[in-house]
Amino acid sequence: MGTSDLNVPPGDQSSASGTDNYGTSPPPADRACCVVVEYITGGTLKSHLIKHFERKLPYKEAVRLALAMARGLSYLHSRKIVHRDVKTENMLLDDGKLNLKIADFGVARIEVDPRDMTGATGTPRYMAPEVLAGRPYNRKCDVYSFAICRTWRR
């Protein structure tokens, strides 16, 4: 679907200011922006781990999931992207073959000079010590969070 196919409602023409109920006019159809995401029905890695808590995951499945997560992070890092919120809740699984997808890039950043990347961003339980301390960090903070995911217990 291109932007020409979008149904952008016109602003409220009856108001004196010419704006809608939120105080802003809708963007013109040729300037609209859409976020399209894949619909994943298998839930999160966290819910999968909880579901299998009583019986261990088969070794092959555990290794396959760990490799999928590592490969995904490696791809992001090769593109200079630091996720900054790696956790089991942000790893999605499809219903069929339990393919792992990394999600929630809300706090992700392009990696720059580590001195420019400071501040506690992410989920404290999964944060690297340097991130928690507000010291400069880089993509290695994702690797630390990945290791926490691999040792996760209920």
Residues annotated catalytic, as ranges: 85
DSSP code string of 72-84: HHHHHHHTTEE-S
9: DSSP letter? P
- Between the alpha carbon of residue 32 and those of residues 5, 7, 11, 36, 42, the distances in Å are 11, 10, 14, 13, 31
Element (H, E) at 49: helix 45-51
Of 79, 68, 132, 147, give the one whose Cα is nearest residue 108.
79
Name the CA dihedral angle for 84, 74, 135, 127, rounded to a multiple of 10 degrees.
50
User: SS3 helix, strand, coil % of the chain, rounded to 5?
Assistant: 35, 5, 55
- Between the alpha carbon of residue 18 and those of residues 9, 30, 100, the distances in Å are 13, 19, 46
